[in-house]
Structure 1
């Protein structure tokens, strides 16, 4: 199966230090997935690689075939994958606005009927868990319902080095066991959803909203 790991931070400067703390967490997630879930394909999608999309115009608002190549390519990847891992810091007790901005460029039909996993982190003691609570609602509205187990990394700078390897006094196996509970849930649900999508096309059954917001209205 294919999974996309979204890194939802674009703050690449100091202060605060260290810069791009989330990159460490994302790299650690990738290392765990590559070690323990070798049968699956994982791709990192870094919000920092999409600076032009900071000026919001959703992919579906472009005239047909006129969307930027970068957005078209990412739309295809979202449609083709089996699940998502969303890595976010906590800003003002909420998820990263950069992550929300990037995801909101695409209609929910691309994300729908596939599971997601929530990974949050912080430089302090809470590990971004308050952002994670809001992410449950956000991701559910996209249709990629989050699995129940979540990953929180408090004081991430003390846990992982810049390339995502554990700090010298950190137990990698313990952290990978902790990550693995969430990733095992993600893989289980992705397999179940994928098998059922092969039997019943959810987009045909539920009819995606593609023309106008009024399609959501009651009669």
Structure 2
């Protein structure tokens, strides 16, 4: 059984957009569709984490001294087979709340696993432009995004609060399914190969200093 984390990319509880927490509907739809396909799924909501006023990533804490919530999430990221990133669009770019949460963890936790990009908006564009920066961001983390993407315009009209589609559910399920199907295919393939070969043997993680990336 594959295990996925669905990251919600919004920490806002107020309006606009209206209704509030619009992305939660989109994230719940992803969770339900993956679970219907037999996967184990967890929704990761930034509001459930107190990240503090000063940025300090999980990997910067002394061993055993990281906040319990970040430690638990780091373990989930390491255990996951793939990721779904649900993001609104801010200034034609990805959600700062999503970037802030993901930046607390080193890329070695995400690497050699696939991801899927899901964007949404209250308007007509579905947050599509956020996907441009999100592709680069996820590639740098090592969880390469699959080619198909999901964009949900006017998400307040497309989805109920619990993540069910309001109209044309079969079409929506098929639309989401193309992306989530690619995610599942790659996740299962990658998980199988990780059992045969440890990825860190072919590409060791940088864990000492940034100059480990430097050319000789």
Same fold (TM over 0.5): yes
Alignment of 1:79-118 (within 5 A): 79-118=78-117
Alignment of 1:111-130 (within 5 A): 111-130=110-129
TM-score, normalization by structure 1: 0.95
Q: Which residue of 2 aligns with 1:74?
A: 73
CA contact (8 A) 1:89 1:122 kept: yes
The farther-off stretch of 134-143 and 52-61 is: 52-61
Q: Deviations over 1:130-179 (max 9, x none)?
A: 00111000000000000000000001011012221222xx1111101111
State the 4+ residue runs in structure 1 displaced beyond 3 angstroms: none
Q: Which residue of 2 aligns with 1:217?
A: 214
Alpha-carbon distance in structure 1 between the residues aligned to 2:164 and 2:195: 38
Q: Deviations over 1:10-35 (max 9, x none)?
A: 01012331101101111111222222
Unaligned runs of 5+ in 1: none
Q: Which residue of 2 aligns with 1:164?
A: 163
Unaligned runs of 5+ in 2: none
SS of 1:137's partner is: helix
Alpha-carbon distance in structure 1 between the residues aligned to 2:16 and 2:45: 21
**Offset, 1:54:** 5.7
Q: How many residues align?
A: 215
CA contact (8 A) 1:53 1:102 kept: no
Q: Which residue of 2 aligns with 1:18?
A: 19
Alpha-carbon distance in structure 2 between the residues aligned to 1:206 and 1:64: 23
**Offset, 1:197:** 1.1
SS of 2:148's partner is: coil
Alignment of 1:138-177 (within 5 A): 138-167=137-166, 170-177=167-174
Aligned-residue CA RMSD (Å): 1.1
Equivalent residue in structure 2 for 1:189, among 176, 182, 186? 186
TM-score, normalization by structure 2: 0.97
SS of 1:181's partner is: helix
Alpha-carbon distance in structure 1 between the residues aligned to 2:50 and 2:14: 15
